[in-house]
A and B are shown apart, each in its own frame.
Chain A
């Protein structure tokens, strides 16, 4: 019950976007959508990069939560306003923090995050190299 109410509100909130988008036809899909396929694809791609702040596991593209609906609307409003993808992401990060990005930004506090897998790969590779060298020396 509450869920359908939320969705209803979300749809209400979405209505202005559909009106703003230049070629909004009658074929409004779930939530909201651009009738221009290129714009729609761009919006979907952006939505997949952004994390729903409520359900955490899902992107705002997948999430059923009302907040995700609001964020989808926000993304589309910004697109209509002519912002680039990067500008939209920056806007959302300024508002909600890095947490909203599915892909963690590369910055000093995430260097270790990004480097660790390759450090481990390098370290394990080095150990393997030494092991093989030793084993080969014994075999010779």
Chain B
């Protein structure tokens, strides 16, 4: 019965999304106030029904209702509650339901906040209604989460053990909040093209920020998960699915910067619109890559050509429609701000140039092999060395420019003064590079350069924070986000350049030395978890003759799914990780053990956190300003 309730709720939500699309688009006309009320109501109603459908599915997972095929295929009674819940989106159908839930939340927010005026809001809701309708149809016709099994099996098939992890329980909702968050900017941009309203960037900015924060956190979570779960100490693999989240992030970052220029000085009007369209297009393409089964990874739950085809049509309509609207309406926009070559506008433009080029690297690197194979069957692979030669130098160039931007005025800046004010940051950069070259082995020029850039970024941010004491939240926010980039760069460099490792077979009582650590293997015991059995290694971190700490990496065997997964043991000082993974039993109590010592690894995720904090600070400032003052005043205060 509950399953049918969920199904019915999705059907109602589809109907409401169509109402929202029609009424919203009609409400873009000044004299259609009634249509606008209907669109607002439909947005709220749609959220209610999608939430109901999602609640029903979650309930089915929690109570292990195996008469629903999805639950039977992806859950198991022995799973801990949290993984029963996260199992809802640990599969294709459920994750698409989550996708439309997030879409409905954003539509309800757009309707509730009414930013940028009634007509702009209404037209945005119209666009969001169209998107939602397309995804509801996709859900109902190719990915129904509520399909039944008769007779219902006695037990479910379980969830891939790799996904039974707290990081991966939060990672998809976070990433979807980012992906779908870009749909709000997309809708606002399309609405602005219809209504011709200026100030859409201001209306859409909180949504851009939320999407960007969520993408940043989502990617960081995903990379952190890969680090501790896959057992190889790596944090980024340039996997197509990782790339699928990196591309929207790069475009969202470009959008945040370009929209700032549009809002503050009226520059790059058409370009910002195009970026808003491009950002969500990247989200859609990412979804296509992941959901179509074109790429094989832990994320590709099912390969079904119908779904891929459906999403491809959806992408073509969404992107094509938006671009057609753009081509039709953009020429009517008032364009052409006036600014001097040395100005903040120029730095923001350069920011966009480098971000677009970085995104192009990822885009081509991800799609080229697929296209080539489809074209003439040639298989090539594009791995990390490609990105090291293309993405890395372009992104490096961008990072060099970052500190200059906030120091140049709008319209006209003083390059000499900006440069002079950056001397301390330059000093920090030189010190960082020299220290690295002088002290740390193995000596690496690339690492020294990376440290110089990180010092340059962090130094400039510290100067910003000091210089603007008591200043606006937005300046602090930018400084924090830029500092976060530097911190992440330190982490990436540290682990890449100076990681030491040992792959060895150890007998009980044996000790090894890896980097500064002495480790003693104390054997393995068997333990039983809620839904797995594990070999738990006991490895003592020695200090002199004494045991300083015990580390317990596990090799878990999930009985329901019949798969093994390693559970690493990581001991961190905050600046260095000692990372242990237990391998296979080699007989006689001997086990394979992998040890990594990763200097600065935690900084990778700390930096992302700092970036996200910067975003949140900016968001907070925006919402407060929005609540406090009418538009004109708030702009003046920025």
Contacts and interface: CB of A to CB of B under 8 A. Distances in A.
A109 B372 contact: yes
Nearest to B345: A135
A136 B346 CA distance: 10
A104 B380 contact: yes
B564 A117 contact: no
Contact of A116 (B364, B411, B505): B364
B341 A132 contact: yes
A12 interface: no
A114 B237 CA distance: 19
B594 A4 contact: no
A132 B381 contact: no
B461 to A, nearest CB: 25
Interface stretch (B4-12, B114-122, B135-143, B349-357): B349-357
A73 to B, nearest CB: 15
A124 interface: yes
Interface in B204-237: 232, 234, 237
Nearest to A55: B296
B550 to A, nearest CB: 22
Interface string B568-592: 0000000000000001110000001
B353 A51 contact: no
Interface string A92-112: 000001111111110001101
Contacts of B237: 57-58
A113 B584 contact: no
B279 to A, nearest CB: 16
A120 B592 contact: no
B338 A139 contact: yes
A139 B266 CA distance: 13
A83 interface: no
A3 B353 CA distance: 48
Interface of A: 3-4, 7, 27-31, 33, 49, 51, 56-59, 62, 97-105, 109-110, 112-114, 116-118, 120-121, 124-125, 127-128, 131-132, 134-136, 138-139
B505 A28 contact: yes
Contact of B386 (A104, A127, A131): A104
Nearest to B373: A99
A132 B232 CA distance: 47
B380 A117 contact: no
A138 B338 contact: yes
A139 B339 CA distance: 5
Given A57-B297, A99-B380, A138 B341 contact: no
B296 A112 contact: no
A117 B339 contact: no
A124 B353 contact: yes
A68 to B, nearest CB: 12
Contact of B564 (A3, A49, A110): A3
Most chain B beta-carbon contacts within 10 A, residue among A4, A33, A117 = A117
Contact of B383 (A28, A33, A103): A103
Interface residues of B, number: 56
B365 interface: yes
B378 interface: yes
Given A7-B584, A104-B381, A134-B336, A117 B390 contact: yes
B381 A56 contact: yes
Nearest to A113: B368
Interface string B585-606: 1000000101000000000000
A27 B344 CA distance: 60
B257 interface: no
B545 interface: no
A113 B354 CA distance: 18
Contacts of B338: 135-136, 138-139
B414 interface: no
A51 B339 contact: no
Contacts of A117: 357-358, 360-361, 364, 390-391, 394
A12 to B, nearest CB: 13
Contacts of B386: 102-104, 113
A38 B102 CA distance: 53
A33 B380 CA distance: 29
A99 B324 CA distance: 38
A81 to B, nearest CB: 24
A23 B365 CA distance: 41
Contact of A124 (B356, B378, B594): B356
Nearest to A103: B385
